[in-house]
């Protein structure tokens, strides 16, 4: 799971910048709207909506914005009709890339995503070409200094987590999508603050890159992540810590 961890760490640093300029808020609101449209506006009966609302609240999205997004999804008030689309392809060095998007203009979005792939030496593929390499998982990251490892393991596993692993700067709690909310709520109740918590696609294997391939792959993932219609980007990219530090320092 190292590839996921390295890319997710980069995403979390970028998310902090996105939040400052409102981009993150927009993506969270869009997820709430679609979740309410697909599964109804009752948080207790709609796990996807519950997760979306909790994520929005943890990122300080105002309650009024959340309520309006739910009502737009259920049709109580007029809103944009978003379509969910998954794009798949290959980045530099043969890395697998999975893109989850929500759009009100399918032709515009696919054209722009395809251009990004080709711009950095990758290419979009057919449906199913890389999706088989990924599994949907809940990932909760806790800074090493924010929790005692034994307490974290006890609380997380008792609440239904599948695994707790040590990363460079964090503990990573892995859950099934169904157990994600229960584990997150248990950690919150125990006073264990998470640095990030999300349900995302995790690769079953990774591709190690260095040099120009690694640089181009990161630029591709960063641009995809920054696109207004893109909700999430998953990749099996893996980069050695010293190589990642070199790239980020340039």
pLDDT in tens, 197-225: 888 888 888 888 999 999 999 999 989 98
Q: Tell me the three state secondary structure of residue 171.
A: strand
Supply the pLDDT for residue 101.
Answer: 95
Q: What is the mean pLDDT of residues 131-140?
A: 92
Give the fold, CATH level 3, of 133-203: Alpha-Beta Plaits (3.30.70)
- Sign of the CA dihedral 45, 102, 7, 92? positive
- Side by side, the strands of the sheet bearing 163-166 are 163-166, 170-175, 134-143, 196-203
pTM for the model stands at 0.83
pLDDT classification of 4: cutoffs 50, 70, 90 = very low
Q: Are 83-129+206-239 and 133-203 in the same CATH fold?
A: yes
**Best CATH choice for the domain 2-74 from the list 3.90.1150.10, 1.10.10.200, 1.20.58.390, 3.20.80.10:** 1.10.10.200
56 vs 70: CA distance, rounded Å: 12
pLDDT digits (tens, 9 = 90+) for 51-95: 899 888 888 889 999 999 999 999 998 888 889 999 999 999 999
CATH architecture of 83-129+206-239: 2-Layer Sandwich (3.30)
pLDDT classification of 21: cutoffs 50, 70, 90 = low
Residue 154 exposure: Cα atoms within 13 Å on the Cβ side: 7
β pairing state of 170-175 and 163-166: antiparallel
Q: What is the mean pLDDT of residues 14-23?
A: 55
pLDDT digits (tens, 9 = 90+) for 167-184: 777 899 999 998 998 999
Helix (H) or strand (E) holding 197: strand 196-203
């Amino acid at each position: 799971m190292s590839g996921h961890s390295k890319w997710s760490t980069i995403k979390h640093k970028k998310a902090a910048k996105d939040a400052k300029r409102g981009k993150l808020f927009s993506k969270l609101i869009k997820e709430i709207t679609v979740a309410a449209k697909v599964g109804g506006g009752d948080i207790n009966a709609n796990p996807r909506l519950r997760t979306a609302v909790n994520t929005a609240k943890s990122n300080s999205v105002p309650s009024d914005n959340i309520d309006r997004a739910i009502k737009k999804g259920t049709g109580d008030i007029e809103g944009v009709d978003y379509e969910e689309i998954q794009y798949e392809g290959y980045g530099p060095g043969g890395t697998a890339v999975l893109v989850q998007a929500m759009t009100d203009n399918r032709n515009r979005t696919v054209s722009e995503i395809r251009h990004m792939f080709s711009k950095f030496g990758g290419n979009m593929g057919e449906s199913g070409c890389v999706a088989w390499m990924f599994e949907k998982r809940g990932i909760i990251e806790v800074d090493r200094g924010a929790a005692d490892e034994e307490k974290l393991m006890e609380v997380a596993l008792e609440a239904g987590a599948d695994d707790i692993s040590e990363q460079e700067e964090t503990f990573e709690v892995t859950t099934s999508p169904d157990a994600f909310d229960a584990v997150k709520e248990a950690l919150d109740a125990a006073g264990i603050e998470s640095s990030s918590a999300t349900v995302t696609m995790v690769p079953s294997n990774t591709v190690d890159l260095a040099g120009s391939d690694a640089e181009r792959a990161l630029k591709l993932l960063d641009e995809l992540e920054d696109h207004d219609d893109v909700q999430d980007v998953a990749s099996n990219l893996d980069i050695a810590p010293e190589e990642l530090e070199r790239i980020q320092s340039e």
